[in-house]
Copies of this chain bind each other. A is one copy, B any other.
Amino acid sequence: MQSRIPPSARTGGRPRSAAADTAILEATRQALVELGWSKLTLGDVATRAGVAKTTLYRRWAGKSELVVDAVAELFDELELPDRGSLAADIEGVVLQFAALLSRPETKTALMAVVAESTSDAPLRERIRTSIVDRQKRLVLAGRQRAQLRGELPPEPDPDAARQTADLIFDVTAGAVVHRTLVSAEPVDEDWARRFTLLLLGGLAATTQP
């Protein structure tokens, strides 16, 4: 799902510049790093991108939509490298996610758009599609891989499977975000190890009553 305003359906006319899109999103990230969310202005982004303000407004409805797109591109990089065991995979994901969150552009932007989204349902949906689901995908892939390895039993009930995945996701993402942004302390290998221990222990308790 895209936040961009689609071009006029009518054929004919000068097409939108693809280079402008790239320049704008890059300029947005750069401005986020230098100024932070609250001091970022669309006029400044336009100037940095070498683009007219109108061009920007023609494609995005506002600051939130633009920033979501700009940050979302960074989340595309997330992958699930095979580290050999479920525990190692989880630690890898946690560290990868933490690394992303500690970049200044994501740090300042993510909470801000989430805050904005509390009173803006379409924006919330866009965040979910562009950002959140990209992380959730990793949880599902990780479980699948662990089941192939025999580390986790197959889950016959699809409802329970989904519920558990959601819980793991909220716990993992929430913990990393909270540690990084609220507690403002680093997510290092040690923390990742201890968190993984907690998660896997809890998971065992959950599935083996």
Question: A interface vs B, CB < 8 Å?
Answer: 36-38, 104, 107-112, 114-119, 124, 127-128, 132, 163, 166-167, 169-171, 173-179, 181-185, 191, 194-195, 197-206
Contact = CB atoms under 8 A, between A and B. Distances in A.
A107 B124 CA distance: 13
Most buried by B among A169, A183, A195: A183
Contacts of A203: 198, 201-202
Contacts of A128: 182
What copy number does this chain have within its complex?
Answer: 4
A19 to B, nearest CB: 21
A115 B108 contact: yes
B194 A170 contact: no
A16 B184 CA distance: 35
A198 B174 contact: no
Given A203-B201, A204-B205, A195 B167 contact: yes
Contact of A206 (B185, B191, B197): B197
17 contacts: A36-B118, A107-B118, A111-B111, A111-B118, A112-B115, A117-B181, A132-B182, A166-B183, A169-B183, A170-B179, A174-B174, A174-B175, A174-B176, A177-B177, A197-B205, A201-B204, A205-B205
Contact of A173 (B117, B166, B178, B202): B178
Nearest to A131: B182
B108 A111 contact: no
A114 B38 contact: no
Contacts of A116: 36-38, 112
